[in-house]
Amino acid sequence: MADTHEISYIGGELDLFALAKNWKGYIKREISRYVTGDVLEVGAGIGATTVALHDGTASRWVCLEPDEQLALRLKARLTSCEHRSITTVIVGSLRTFSDRPSFDSILYIDVLEHIEDDRAQIDAAARLVRSGGHVVILSPAHHWLFSEFDKSIGHFRRYNKAHLRSMMPAGWFEVKLTYLDSLGMFLSLGNVFGLRQSMPTQPQIRIWDTICVPASRIVDRLFRGTIGKSVLAVWRKR
C-alpha cells in the first residue's frame, strides 16, 4: 500500500491558506454532497480544511497526517471543534488501515501533488472505499503554472483533467472533473512570469480570497469549468 510518508512537505503555507475562508467555502459547496458516512481526510495538516468541511453530517471523520508536529497542531485545533466526538486524528499513512473497504469518502485536498508515487497512492485509497463511495481530489492545475511556490512547498507536479482522468481506477465512475478559480489562474501566471515568489504574503492571500475567489465563482460558471488554477475530480466506486 502506498505510504503518505512519501510526501515531501514543509507545511509553511498552511497558516497562510488557513485565512482563505471564501476558498474553503467554495470547495465545500462543490464537494459536500460527496462527503458522507465514514470520511478519511488524507494529509489533514493543521486542520483548516477539516474545520471548513466537517459540519457534523459525516458519521465519522478520520484525519490522517504523517507529520507528527502538524498532527499535534491539528489535535489542538480540534479540541474546540463542535464535532470532536466523531473526529479522530491518526499520525501515519494509509498502511495504518487494513486493506479492505472501510470508508465512504476519501479526501485529497491539496495533498496528492505532494506524493511522489501518486498512482500507487490512489490505487491504495481506492481499495479502502466502500461500494458507492467517493474519492475527492483537489489539486493545483496545469504544469505550465509550476512556480517557485510549488518548488518551495514540495510539489512534485500540477495536474490537468486528462492526467487525473488517466488515474481513475478501473470500476470507478467520473462524477465531476472541473477547473476552479479562473481568476486565480491569472494571478498564478503573474507569479510564474513576473513575481516568482516562493511564498505569497498574507495581504496577497487576503486579496485573492476576498476579491478573486467570489468573482471566480461567477466566472467559473460562465466558462463551465474549462479554466482555473485548481482542478477538482470526484470519482464514485461501483
Q: For each of the domains in the chain, give its residue range(s) and CATH number, in order of start.
A: 4-237 (3.40.50.150)
Question: What's the pLDDT at 198?
Answer: 83
Question: What's the pLDDT at 6?
Answer: 46
Question: What's the pLDDT at 195?
Answer: 77
Tell me the pLDDT tens digit for each residue of 151-184: 999 999 999 999 999 999 999 999 999 999 999 9
pLDDT, mean of residues 75-81: 92
pLDDT, mean of residues 63-67: 97
Are the beta carbons of 65 and 43 closer than 8 angstroms?
Answer: yes
Least confident of 192-196, 219-223, 228-232: 192-196
Q: Is the pLDDT of residue 4 over 50?
A: no
Distance CA 85, CA 79 (A): 10
Tell me the pLDDT tens digit for each residue of 92-120: 999 999 999 999 999 999 999 999 999 99
Annotate 67-125 with DSSP letters as a single string. -HHHHHHHHHHHTT-TTGGGEEEEES-GGGS-SS--EEEEEEES-GGGBSSHHHHHHHH
Distance CA 209, CA 80 (A): 25
At residue 194 the predicted structure's pLDDT band, cuts being 50, 70 and 90, is: confident
Joined together, the cell numbers standing for residue 83 give 464535532
Residue 209's SS3 state is helix
- pLDDT, mean over the chain: 93
What is the pTM for the complete model shown? 0.93
Distance CA 52, CA 132 (A): 24
Question: What's the pLDDT at 13?
Answer: 85
pLDDT, mean of residues 36-49: 97
Tell me the pLDDT tens digit for each residue of 118-141: 999 999 999 999 999 999 999 999
At residue 11 the predicted structure's pLDDT band, cuts being 50, 70 and 90, is: low
Q: Is the pLDDT of residue 1 over 80?
A: no
Q: Is the pLDDT of residue 77 over 60?
A: yes
Question: What's the pLDDT at 9?
Answer: 45
Q: Which of 29, 26, 18, 23 is CA-nearest to residue 51?
A: 18
